[in-house]
Structures are given as C-alpha cells and as structure tokens.
Amino acid sequence: MEKFEVDILGCGSATPTIQHNPSSQVVNVREKLFMVDCGEGTQLQMRHSRLRFGRLNRIFISHLHGDHCFGLLGLISTLALLGRTGDLFIHSVAGLEEILRPQLDFFCKDNPFEVKIETFDPVNSEVIYEDKSVQVKTIPLRHRVPCAGFLFREQEKEAHLVAEMIKFYNIPIKELAKIKQGADFVTEDGAIVPNARLTRPATPSRSYAYCSDTAYSEKIIPIIEGVDLLYHEATFTQEDASRAKTTGHSTAKQAAEIAKLANVKKLMLGHFSARYTDNNILLDEAKVIFPNTILANEGLREKL
C-alpha cells in the first residue's frame, strides 16, 4: 500500500517547553511531503525525524499566530542552502504575504526559487490543492483570529482486476483501464460481461483531518465524518474549560466528543498547554469518551 503517514514535529501551544515544540507536522503521501504549520524549531525537528527537505511539496498555514508560522523564514532559508530550485507554495489565510514578504526580501533575496503565497477563505470549506494522489480541503475553525484546519484525503482508487476473469475472457490490455473505471466488457459475439464479475472493490481511500486551533465546534463534523485519523487540539483539561472558551481553544473532553460525534477511527490530541507537565491527564480525560485516543508527541510517525 502506498505511503500515507503523519509526522509530528511540534505539538505544544504558544509557549515552548522542554517537552514540546510549537505546532508543526508533515503529511507524507507517496513520498510527497506536505507541511502543516511551521512553528519555531520545525527544521530541526525535520532533521530529527529524518524527513528529506527536498521532498517538501507545499506548506499549509492554519492561522497567523506565531507558534504556527515563526519557523517559516528559517526553513525557507535552509531550503535555499540545500539547493532547492522549484517554487515553494504556501497556502494561508490572508495576511501572510504582508508579514513574510519583507523578511524574504531582506534575508532571502538571492534564493534560487520563488515563494508563492496562495490565500484561502477560512470561513468556507473549499478544496485548495489537488493532484493525482491527494486532495486538500479546508475546515473552518473557531479561534480568536481567522483560522482553518485541513482535510487530507486520498483520491478515489480504481477497482482491482480479477486476474482469473481477465484471462478467462481473454480481455485485451487496451480494455483494462476502462474496466478498472467501471466499464463492462463486451465479447466478440456481443455478450456483456458485467464489471462486478471482472473486478473487486477498490481499496478505501484514507483520510486525515487537522484541527488546531479551535474552540468546540460541531460545525466541523460533516467535513471530518469518518476520517481515519483526527488531530484535534486539546489545549486544556475540562477543569480549565472557562480558560479554553476565553482563548478560543478546546479541552480534551471536547476533542473526544467531536471524535465520537464524527465517527472517526482514531483521535490524536495535540497543542498542549505548557501548564501540564504530564499530558496523560488529557489522554485519560478523552479516553473516557473516545477510547481510541493517543497523544501527539515529537518524533511520532502515525501510519494510516
């Protein structure tokens, strides 16, 4: 099966600690690396995780709080030092161009590639990137500033051919592509062989949803329904629910409630507040509601 993995580079909140780096992760789809957020220390964590800088495809920035984008300038500078020549595309809410461009003009004016920033509307869910392997769609989130999460979904796969049937009906190679896409086969004497006899159902497409930073919002449920893995911020415990509401964040209990309502297969908690020295308190809170929950951690590589 082709690769679909999530590497956690940082899962802390605004204040860096000796436990966690600020937010960043990489989604690896068939060796194409898609970065989600880029807090301080991201490029060092890429080294620790042995991720290849040359395979970095695109960067997606959820919102313009520093713990999600302060690492961009250093990463871009390093990409130039490593010899990148292809343009780098960054998808972001509006405002990043005005913030980042002056820094690039000063520190990276001789870069051998261009940084192209494409903005999206964080209010509406929309497809912002698509290729033959994956589609990326925004997830409107509730935070103190415009913010969106991202849904990575493999493109629909073709049906599997039943080799014995293909051989039995002596089907020409030129017909196989159409059969994979659902066509029946017509023999030389005009008999129709139904597609269901020639194929097995395609392998289900895998999906990953990233939701950070956000207050509790059931509006995201139809978008993330049934995903294989949901990363949902759990900045606070339920004991600090009032603080979560004030700052536009979620508790671990609320993250678990969203996972349960959305029928996701697995929940990963992240964006931990620096006030908790042991994140297991968050894990325990979530597992009461949604047992298949894990904690994010730097260096974790989750395979879908």
pLDDT digits (tens, 9 = 90+) for 257-268: 999 999 999 999
111 and 61 within one domain: yes
pLDDT at 179 over 90: no
> Which structure tokens are listed for 264?
């996701």
213 and 143 within one domain: yes
Cα separation values, 213 from 13, 52, 137, 219, Å:
9, 27, 16, 15
pLDDT band at 157 (very low <50, low <70, confident <90, very high): confident
pLDDT at 15 over 90: no
Last residue of a domain, one of 143, 171, 200: 200
| Domains in the chain, number | 2
pLDDT band at 197 (very low <50, low <70, confident <90, very high): confident
* Short-list 291, 275, 4, CA closest to 133: 4
182 and 108 within one domain: no
pLDDT at 158 over 90: no
Range 217-222 contact pairs with CB under 8 angstroms and sequence separation of 24 or more: 217/141, 217/142, 217/258, 218/258, 218/261, 219/140, 220/139, 220/140, 220/141, 220/149, 220/258, 220/262, 221/258, 221/261, 221/262
pLDDT band at 150 (very low <50, low <70, confident <90, very high): very high
Q: CA–CA separation, 137 vs 133, rounded Å? A: 14
Give percent of the chain with pLDDT exceeding 90. 83
pLDDT digits (tens, 9 = 90+) for 107-145: 999 999 999 999 999 999 999 999 999 999 999 999 999
Q: Is 233 helix (H, G, I), strand (E, B) or coil?
A: strand
- Assess contact for 131 and 99: CB atoms under 8 A: no
89 and 76 within one domain: yes
pLDDT at 209 over 90: yes
174 and 138 within one domain: no
Residue 300: predicted pLDDT: 98
Residue 148: predicted pLDDT: 98
168 and 288 within one domain: no
Q: CA–CA separation, 23 vs 94, rounded Å? A: 19
207 and 110 within one domain: yes
168 and 192 within one domain: yes
- As annotated, the active-site residues are 67
Q: What are phi and psi of 299, to 5 degrees?
A: 95, -10
Residue 190: predicted pLDDT: 82
Residue 75: predicted pLDDT: 98
171 and 33 within one domain: no
Q: Rounded mean pLDDT of the chain?
A: 95
Last residue of a domain, one of 140, 173, 200: 200
pLDDT digits (tens, 9 = 90+) for 51-95: 999 999 999 999 999 999 999 999 999 999 999 999 999 999 999
CATH number, position 125: 3.60.15.10
189 and 57 within one domain: no
pLDDT at 223 over 90: yes
115 and 98 within one domain: yes
168 and 116 within one domain: no
Q: CA–CA separation, 128 vs 121, rounded Å? A: 10
* Short-list 210, 266, 204, CA closest to 1: 204
Residue 252: predicted pLDDT: 98
Mean pLDDT of 173-199: 86
Choose between 213 and 197: higher pLDDT.
213
- Pick the range with the lowest mean pLDDT from 9-18, 77-86, 128-137, 172-181: 172-181
> Which structure tokens are listed for 262?
């959305």
Q: Residue 259 belongs to what domain range?
A: 4-157+203-303
Q: For 118-134, give the DSSP string.
A: EE--TTS--EEEE-SSE
Residue 193: predicted pLDDT: 85
Residue 69: predicted pLDDT: 98
Choose between 167 and 133: higher pLDDT.
133
pLDDT band at 13 (very low <50, low <70, confident <90, very high): very high
Q: How many residues are listed for the chain in this entry?
A: 304
